Amino acid sequence: MENKTIKTLFIGAGRMAQAMISQLVKDTRFEITVTNSGNQKRLTDVKEIYEVSVATAWTDVIEDSDVVVLAIPPDAHPAILGEISPLIKGQLVITVAAGIRPSWLEERLPDKTAVAWVMPNTAAEVGQSSTPTAVGNYVTPAQKEVLEALLSNIGTFEIVTEEQVKALTAITGSAPAFVYKIAQALVETGLKSGITVSQANHLVAQMILGSASMLKTGKSPEELIDQVATPGGSTAEGLRVLDENNTKEIIATAIQACRDKANQSDN
Ligand SMILES: NC(=O)C1=CN([C@@H]2O[C@H](COP(=O)(O)OP(=O)(O)OC[C@H]3O[C@@H](n4cnc5c(N)ncnc54)[C@H](O)[C@@H]3O)[C@@H](O)[C@H]2O)C=CC1
Ligand SMILES: O=C(O)[C@@H]1CCC=N1
């Protein structure tokens, strides 16, 4: 990639935008401007915390941007696309929103606009997002390099089809909250042993980090479960309770509930 400044405009300054910005600011190639509707206090905070530029009217900066990141709710897209469309002239337009496909963006932006759909998660804040990404039909090789640089700053990514991003949104986007739900239950149970909140948080976080590292060795979940459960031992009893209560089915049903909700924005 050329050593050129990549002028990047974030429309939306919420949780996901801030998680991404917190890492992107470390890459000096990205020059970030943030804009938001309504919450001006949030914009002032973002300016102070991340030392980025802010704009009260994105119309002032969008024409001079190389990349526009839409980090707004799915249902805010139709109106925003209508407003930005006349000002799009060669920018790469990226959405992070559940259910907003590249083909849908292409239909609403000028002919041959470069678009992408990225589905990060909040671990972007520590450079550990797992981000399935679909690119539209008109992304140039140079824009693809820019997109990959952006994604590398927030974690790892896979270029997949838009159908796959749709299917994976619940798994990489939403399911971190399921993992935190398990963490919450473990912390609360751990606290009953008399340790401090900080000790409980640390022990549980390290246990999850260790488990994730084991998964990354390439061993399957089945193999790892078997490795933990000593035959005739205590873990097997806990696993029996999870199985008797259909834990796998409950997780699959929860994933489906996320998908059903995200699909309400899918056209
Ligand atoms: N929070 C997460 O873990 C993830 C969120 N996403 C997607 O990111 C997007 C934003 O979600 P969050 O950051 O969680 O929500 P949020 O509520 O924290 O942030 C949304 C931001 O968009 C702004 N906004 C709303 N309408 C706007 C408009 N018309 N123009 C400009 N700004 C506008 C709001 O003021 C707010 O700052 C959603 O589309 C969501 O699907 C995707 C993956 C993960
Ligand atoms: O809860 C949501 O709607 C967003 C999409 C994926 C994660 N958070």
For ligand 1, pick from 18, 46, 80, 96 the residue to mutate: most ligand atoms within 8 Å of CB.
96
Distance 78 CA to ligand 2 centre (A): 18
Q: Which residue has the tokens 């980025």?
A: 52
Ligand 2 atom 1 nearest Cα = 174
Q: Measure the CA–CA gap between 246 and 249, rounded to whole angstroms.
A: 5
Distance 170 CA to ligand 2 centre (A): 8
Ligand 1 atom 40 nearest Cα = 97
Q: Measure the CA–CA gap between 12 and 43, rounded to whole angstroms.
A: 9
Edge-to-edge strand list for the sheet holding 114-118: 53-54, 30-35, 6-11, 67-70, 92-95, 114-118, 129-135, 155-159
Q: Measure the CA–CA gap between 238 and 240, rounded to whole angstroms.
A: 5
Q: Measure the CA–CA gap between 265 and 73, rounded to whole angstroms.
A: 10
Query: How many residues does this entry show for the chain?
Result: 267
Amino acid, res. 67: V
Q: Is 251 annotated as a binding residue?
A: no
Residue whose C-alpha is closest to residue 172's, from 140, 142, 230, 133:
133
Q: Is 12 annotated as a binding residue?
A: yes
Cα torsion 132, 136, 142, 146: sign: negative
Report CA-CA distances (Å) from 113 to 75, 104, 120, 191, 267: 21, 12, 22, 53, 19
The SS3 assignment for 245 reads coil
pTM to 2 decimals? 0.95
For ligand 2, pick from 258, 259, 265 the residue to mutate: most ligand atoms within 8 Å of CB.
258
Question: Does 131 sit in the ligand 2 pocket, CB within 6 Å?
Answer: no
For every one of its 267 residues, what pLDDT tens digit does the chain have, with 9 covering 90 and above?
767 899 999 999 999 999 999 999 999 999 999 999 877 889 999 999 999 999 988 888 999 999 999 999 999 999 999 999 999 999 999 999 999 999 999 999 999 999 999 999 999 999 999 999 999 999 999 999 999 999 999 999 999 999 999 999 999 999 999 999 999 999 999 999 999 999 999 999 999 999 999 999 999 999 999 999 999 999 999 999 999 999 999 999 999 999 999 988 775
For ligand 1, pick from 10, 15, 263 the residue to mutate: most ligand atoms within 8 Å of CB.
15
